[in-house]
Structure formats: structure tokens, C-alpha cells
Amino acid sequence: MADASPLLVEIRGNLQIMTLNRPEAKNAVTLEMAEAMVTALDAFDAHPELSVGIIVGAGGTFCAGMDLKGFLQGKRPTIPGRGFCGITIKPPRKPIIAAVEGYALAGGFEVVLACDLIVASREAKFGLPEVKRGLAAAGGGLLRLPRRMPYHIAMECILTGDMLSAERAHQNGLINRLVEPGAALDAAIELANAVAANGPLSLIASKQVATESVDWSRSDMFERQAAITNPVFASQDAREGASAFAEKRKPVWKGV
């Protein structure tokens, strides 16, 4: 019997795979799914042996956005302080990858944009169709998309509401890996393993600086960076990384 949980969580080594699990509704996000995502992401961030997360959709598609039936019942799938599907306002501290097959539309595309890396099938389709419904992509689409790809391409997507092909998204720098249909999760796992081989403290600090420094001033940006990166240089893992390099072996990270 299929698992009826709206979000499936699987641990593979030091990876956590989170599957949006409403294939009968193209994985449209419900309040229950958003709450489950918050729980899963908090557990992911807190687990000392987990380094990288992956979000994927069940049934050959990523996510069609908000569940409209739930919306009509007054159940918006947005968590205060965390955003749509529990991730768009406050993504996890650790790196996270979107593995996209099929459609990633509206809030589904905004979940993708909340991730640090994107792997997609050549047949995947992305879109922010909110303007076609008299709405606005307020779950991060309007904020993130113009920063992730050329402004005019992003604005065409935002203002027409038309879909963006994976090929065009890849050509314009939005997608890290473009793969054959059905191969997105395997390629995301391969990419995640390459990331997860690195120091866990280094990954968290590097993501924090890269994401937070967007609005730092030139006068204090190195000082603010140092507050985040100095503890990494003083860590046991930093000594282990240097020792492993000198001894020509793989490092054994402790996360301290």
C-alpha cells in the first residue's frame, strides 16, 4: 500500500531526500505538507551527520503550486516565518538541491528557487503563472528569479506568466545539471554526494555568507564574513582537512 504521507523523508548516508508526495494532485502543496516540510527541515539542520538535502516530487512531476481545494477551505500552505511549503522565507542552513521532473509551477517553482542547486530533466517546465490569475508570485518568485538569471528573461517569465523550458533556463544559468527524463534524482544525488564530501561546518558557513552578503556594505563586508568564517578556521575539522591533505587521505569530518 502506498504511503499516504504528504511528504516522504529518506536518509541515504549523509543525505536527506524529501519527496513531495501527492502525485494524484501533481504534488500541489497543502498545509499538512508545509507543516511536514518544516519538521523535516528542522530535523535535517539539527542532525550532525546530515550534510545535504534534496527535494523531489513523486509521480514524475515536481509541484504544481498551492492546493486550491485547501485554499478555498481557508488552509493556506504557508507557515509564518518559514514561507510557502515551509521553505521559501527561511530555507535550511545546510545546502539543498531541487531535483525537477515535469512541472514546477507557481509555488512549486518558488520552492525550487529556495534551493541552492537545481537539477532538472530536459523536459521539465518552470513557470510563475500567478499574473494569469490576477495574483502575484509572492512566495519568493518575484524576489529571487531576477537575481538568478538575466533580468529581461526573468521579467518575461514573471509578466507573461508563460512557462520557461528547462533548456532555456539552463542556457540562462538557472539550472546546474540538465539530464534526460527520469534521471533528475540520480543526478541530484551525484551532485549532493560531491557537496557532502566537504567539511560540514565549511558548507554551512559558505552558504550563510553567500546568501546573506547580498545586502552587506563594502565597508563592513569582510568583518561580517569573518564573524561567520573564523570559527570554521578554528575548528577541529579545519585541522583534519589540512592533515588529510598532507597525508593524502580522505578527511574524516566531525562537524566540530
Query: Catalytic amino acids?
Result: 110, 130
- Compute the C-alpha angle 160/182/65, nearest 5°: 35
> Which residue spans within the chain are E strands per DSSP?
7-12, 15-20, 52-57, 78-79, 83-84, 96-100, 103-105, 117-121, 125-127, 164-165, 177-179
What grid cell was written down for 129?
503563472
DSSP H helical ranges for 64-199: 68-72, 107-113, 141-148, 151-160, 166-171, 184-196
Residue 161 DSSP symbol: -
Phi, psi of 185, rounded to the nearest 5 degrees: -65, -45
Question: At a CB cut-off of 8 Å and minimum separation 6, what does 182 contact?
Answer: 60, 101, 121
For the chain, the maximum distance between any two Cα atoms, rounded to a whole number of angstroms, is: 62
